[in-house]
Structure 1
Amino acid sequence: MASYSISDLARELDITTRTIRFYEEQGMLTPERRGQERIYSAKDRVALKLILRGKRIGFSLAECRELIELYDPSSGNHKQLYSMLAKIAERREQLQQQLLDIQQMQLELDTAEERCRAALEMTNVTA
């Protein structure tokens, strides 16, 4: 069975050891202890990769934790994969709404800018 030190994982995943300890404190990683040394399993490595991927696409820590809890390689991870697909669809909807909100805000900024420029032109003509 593969095992990893905290520095191995930090180096491989290009993160700090503090980041790994944070996820451990959150109960998302459960390394074995040999004295002061933490020994991470292949499952911990997969969980950490899932957390990092989830954070990159905007999942909360709670959502990442839920996905980790569904990790079950003996079942082909079907529950985890279906849950991930649902979360991806939800995240896409959120992003689409944010995009629409940004576009609306840009239109409002354009209108405000046009009004300001028109008001300046009026004061320059009358001055």
Structure 2
Amino acid sequence: MRYGSVRVFENGGNVISMTMAKTKVEREDDRPDGRTWSIGDLADEFGLTHRTIRFYEDEGLVTPARKGTTRVYSRADRARVKLICRGKRLGFSIAEIAEFLKLYDSRDRQIGQMRFALERARDRIGALEQQLVDVRQTLSELRDIEQAIVDHLQEQGAADAGRPTGE
């Protein structure tokens, strides 16, 4: 068949769409819309490098199909990349994200995944709350030091004691 400048061939359940610049393979499990993504598509969408996505593949976090040497990412692969990005943004390690993704794939994913996510989220909340306490204490100490220096400079008659440096 031919659609405009794109040729579509049926091949044992796979549909191969070819253009001059890209090749896409659509697996049966990726339908109803048959959308697939290249490594560049995912990199652009999630603000990642190709190397980062290949690292996730090396770690077994995503498993794209191959068409020759071209990686072809399914809807499930894209969802996993999205979960990985969310996990990294929330401060989870690759090992924790991998464990979460294993639960995502298991039959009891609803319960097991949610329990794991709840435990990790609570751990992360605790760590962030402690960091917040630490930052507040550090700011308070720095403000005390700042005020002591300003007071000293004013006692010494420095005219610019209250102004920040660089002004």
- For 2:55, give the aligned amino acid: F
Following superposition of structure 1 onto structure 2, how do residues 1-127 of structure 1 map, counting pairs within 5 Å? 1-2=29-30, 3-72=36-105, 74-124=107-157
Partner Cα separation in structure 2 for residue 124 and residue 91 of structure 1 = 49
The structure with the largest alpha-carbon Rg is 2
Shift of 1:60: 1.3
TM-score by length of 2: 0.65
Contact 2:103 2:109 in 1 (8 A): no
Partner Cα separation in structure 1 for residue 136 and residue 44 of structure 2 = 40
Higher relative contact order (CA 8 A, sep 6+): 1
Q: Which has the higher strand share?
A: 2
Structure 1 consecutive aligned stretches of length 4 or more whose deviation exceeds 2 Å: 3-19, 39-46, 72-77
Matched positions, count: 125
TM-score by length of 1: 0.83
Gapped regions of structure 1 (runs ≥ 5): none
Root mean square deviation, CA, Å:
2.2
Partner Cα separation in structure 1 for residue 118 and residue 48 of structure 2 = 26
116-125 or 78-87, which deviates more: 116-125
Partner Cα separation in structure 1 for residue 74 and residue 89 of structure 2 = 23
Gapped regions of structure 2 (runs ≥ 5): 1-28, 31-35, 159-167
1-10 or 26-35, which deviates more: 1-10
Percent of residue pairs bearing the same amino acid type: 42
Partner Cα separation in structure 1 for residue 152 and residue 94 of structure 2 = 49
1:53-85: CA deviation from partner (whole Å, max 9, x where unpaired): 101111111111111111136334321111011
Shift of 1:45: 2.5
Q: Which has the higher helix share?
A: 1
1:74-98: CA deviation from partner (whole Å, max 9, x where unpaired): 3343211110111111111111111
Aligned to 2:163: none
- For 1:22, give the aligned amino acid: F
Contact 2:64 2:72 in 1 (8 A): yes
